[in-house]
């Protein structure tokens, strides 16, 4: 199961970019913009790490972390554009594990996360069963269950979903999919796999909008699950 990260960030653009990056790396992200909603989520769900902005609407990330320490003892990474040493030291006094300066460097963010969270574990596609969040695939019977209900897929759609789920969060190349599913190399023009990905995306999102079949332009596709909390 992927590690669950709570992202508290009021900058919608930055939050979406960060969520997309971490989801692609195999993390499960829940994003909210206000401290009061983050506090509710910490009571309702289990999180493995808190990624927290310092400057928040009506409060500060410092005050928020100070207020929730009795209910959350996991790692905290602060994010801010404030470069003063006193702010960074205060964050560490509150028990933060690290401090990230904006604009965030994606590779540095990922490196710091790996210090506190082991690499996300993804089911091996050679296994007979894949279990990701509320999606279960039985590779022997070629059946899919999503949100507790059977998901009707064509044989081609199931094969594509199994390939992407087996490499969850990682890009599966278009050429590899053409070779394995269609028995021919991708010629740079054929849109067959794009059509399958689009139909699969619609079926997944008809049941749960958090699921997405993402097109990595010029490369291929990857499967993501992005549970975004809105305030």
Q: What is the pLDDT of residues 26-72, one digit of tens each?
A: 888 899 999 999 999 999 889 999 999 998 888 888 899 999 988 89
Cis before 211 (ω within 30): no
Whether 33 and 59 have beta carbons less than 8 Å apart is answered as no
Distance CA 23, CA 56 (A): 23
Q: What is the pLDDT of residues 168-194, one digit of tens each?
A: 888 999 988 998 888 888 888 999 999
Nearest CA-CA partner of 78 in 200, 66, 70? 66
Max Cα distance, the chain (Å) = 61
User: Structure pTM?
Assistant: 0.53
Displacement of CA 210 from its chain's centroid (Å)? 10
Whether 223 and 211 have beta carbons less than 8 Å apart is answered as yes
Domains in the chain, CATH or no CATH each = 4-116 (3.40.50.2300), 129-224 (1.10.10.10)
Higher pLDDT, 25 or 10: 10
Query: For residue 121, what pLDDT band results from cuts at 50, 70 and 90?
Result: low
């Amino acid at each position: 199961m992927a590690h669950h990260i709570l992202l508290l960030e009021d900058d919608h653009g930055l939050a979406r970019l960060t969520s997309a990056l971490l989801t692609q790396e195999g993390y499960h992200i829940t994003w909210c913009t206000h401290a009061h909603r983050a506090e509710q989520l910490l009571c309702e769900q289990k999180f493995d790490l808190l990624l927290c902005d310092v400057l928040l609407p009506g409060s500060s990330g410092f005050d928020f972390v100070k207020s929730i320490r009795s209910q959350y003892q996991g790692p905290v990474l602060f994010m801010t554009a404030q470069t003063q040493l006193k702010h960074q030291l205060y964050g560490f006094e509150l028990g933060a594990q690290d401090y990230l300066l904006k604009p965030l460097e994606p590779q540095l963010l990922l490196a710091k996360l790996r210090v506190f969270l082991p690499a996300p574990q993804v089911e091996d596609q050679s296994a007979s069963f894949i279990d990701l969040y509320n999606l279960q695939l039985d590779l022997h019977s070629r059946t899919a269950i999503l949100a507790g209900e059977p998901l009707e897929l064509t044989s081609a759609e199931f094969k594509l979903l199994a390939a992407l789920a087996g490499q969850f969060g990682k890009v599966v190349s278009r050429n590899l999919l053409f070779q394995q599913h269609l028995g021919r190399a991708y010629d740079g023009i054929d849109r067959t796999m794009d059509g399958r990905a689009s139909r699969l995306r619609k079926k997944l999102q008809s049941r749960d909008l958090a699921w997405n079949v993402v097109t990595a332009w010029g490369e291929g596709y990857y499967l993501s699950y992005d549970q975004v909390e809105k305030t």
